[in-house]
Amino acid sequence: MKKFHLPMKIMFSDCDPAQLVFYPKYFQWFDVATQRMFNELGMEWSKFWPDRGISGLPLVDASATFKGPARMDDEIEIVSWVEEWRGKIFIVRHDVIKDGEIIVEGKEVRACVVKDTENSKGIRAEAVPEDVISRFE
């Protein structure tokens, strides 16, 4: 499995008044890291989705385990990978690393959805294409 690395420096705008990273920022960074994985493999979402008729890769579940803090001016790295492909959904893992230690473990469960005009919600889940999965291996 391929792992992807996103180095970051914690800025004041990432923090709460105690200068600790405000926890929703981690979920924003996980989303960015997931999109960057696809981009790095030549599947920029702005082109890839329309070319494949995909409406998006929405979150159906997200969680994080916080093991340590990050503060303003800390250097961190988010290491991300697809842990599992399950037909219409896939699981992305994210480790936030500071000074060689994992301080946050994140998990996203995402679905592959396409437009469906016959469905009252306008979308339906569809299996992730095999050629997409193969790029991650």
**How does residue 122 score in pLDDT terms, banded at 50, 70 and 90?**
confident
Domain count, the chain: 1
Does the annotation mark 16 as catalytic? yes
Based on C-alpha coordinates, what's the Rg of the chain?
16
Q: Which residues contact 99 (CB under 8 A, 6 or more apart)?
A: none
Q: What is the pLDDT of residues 38-73, one digit of tens each?
A: 999 999 999 999 998 899 999 999 999 999 999 999
CATH classification of the domain holding 64: 3.10.129.10
Domain range enclosing 45: 4-135
**Catalytically annotated residue among 14, 16, 51, 73:** 16
**How does residue 117 score in pLDDT terms, banded at 50, 70 and 90?**
confident
CB 107 within 8 A of CB 94: yes
How distant, in Å, are the alpha carbons of 20, 43, 48 from that of 133? Answer: 36, 12, 14
